[in-house]
Amino acid sequence: MTDLVRIEHDSMGTVEVPADVLWGAQTQRSLLNFAISDDRMPTELIHALALIKQAAASVNFRLGVLDETQRDLIINAASAIAAGLHDDQFPLRVWQTGSGTHTNMNVNEVISNLSSQASGEPLGSHRPVHPNDHVNRSQSTNDAFPSAIHIAAAEGITKQLLPELERLIEAFNNKSNAWSEIIKIGRTHLQDKAGKQASTQACTQASKPASQQACKEKEWQAIQAGRQEGNQGIQVSKQGEER
């Protein structure tokens, strides 16, 4: 990051933003107003929000409120964010007002500026993709943020928890076989053989993936319809709610 700045504009006026960053005015305001601790928003949630932006762009194109170029630019930028290629562009702390609006706008602004870069437009120009009017179209942070939490949780269950449980079950089964002939002192809450104790643990853990899978399926049921006060009926169509 350099000492040079660019001037960004939003509904509150102008703000100086470091010249080489991909975030914009609202992210910079949050950085200045909430310079509290180093507790940054988890990248898993950022990646989940990017997936929501991808899906919203696809639906908004089908509804005729985004053109094909805008859709493709948003999807490509959001895909790069979801892949973790721009994690350094999300500096906000967990300490912020509202329902996560600052982080939602951070994602919107980075997508907008990535779209500008891809189109040969200057950072902060909001051309050809505006962070609020296009990236955030038909969305509310009150919906997007909880949905991102659901998605991040489901991703964590799928990619981290369930694989680790499978490895744990395998380890218990291996120990059960290795210790099958070892006799140990019995206690009320344990079996009287080490092998049996390990096999019991394996059976106990084996019953958990099914329940975790059921939880994951519930987590994927995101709540997304742009239902913020003032949004309903303005940016959101009935078809958009259904999709």
Res. 171: pLDDT tops 70 = yes
Q: Quick one: CATH architecture of 5-138?
A: Orthogonal Bundle (1.10)
pLDDT value of position 231:
47
Gap between the Cα atoms of 207 and 212, Å rounded: 9
pLDDT value of position 101:
94
Gap between the Cα atoms of 216 and 82, Å rounded: 19
Res. 166: pLDDT tops 90 = no
Q: Cis omega before residue 128 (within 30°)?
A: yes
**46-60, 184-198, 211-225: which has the highest mean pLDDT?**
46-60
**pLDDT digit string, tens, across residues 35-75:** 988 899 999 999 999 999 999 999 999 999 999 999 999 99
Q: Please name which of 151, 161, 43 lies closest in space to residue 91, comparing C-alpha atoms.
A: 43
DSSP one-letter code for 121: P
For residue 205, how far is the Cα from the chain centroid? 28
Bridge partners (DSSP) listed for residue 10? 13
**For the chain, what is the largest distance between any 2 Cα atoms, rounded to a whole number of angstroms?**
76
Sorting pLDDT into bands at 50, 70 and 90, what band is 232?
very low
Residues 6+ away with beta carbon under 8 Å from 96: 30, 34, 102, 103
pLDDT value of position 213:
59
Q: Please tell me the least confidently modeled range out of 52-56, 74-78, 160-164.
A: 160-164
pLDDT value of position 145:
94
pLDDT value of position 151:
94
E strands of 77-151, at which residues?
none
Res. 194: pLDDT tops 80 = no
Structure-block tokens of residue 72? 């493709």
Domain boundaries, the chain: 5-138, 147-219
For residue 119, how far is the Cα from the chain centroid? 25
Of residues 154 and 173, the one with the higher pLDDT is 154
pLDDT value of position 230:
47
Of residues 17 and 96, the one with the higher pLDDT is 17
Of residues 5 and 190, the one with the higher pLDDT is 5
If phi > 0 it is left, if psi is from -120 to 50 it is alpha, else beta; for residue 13 that is: left
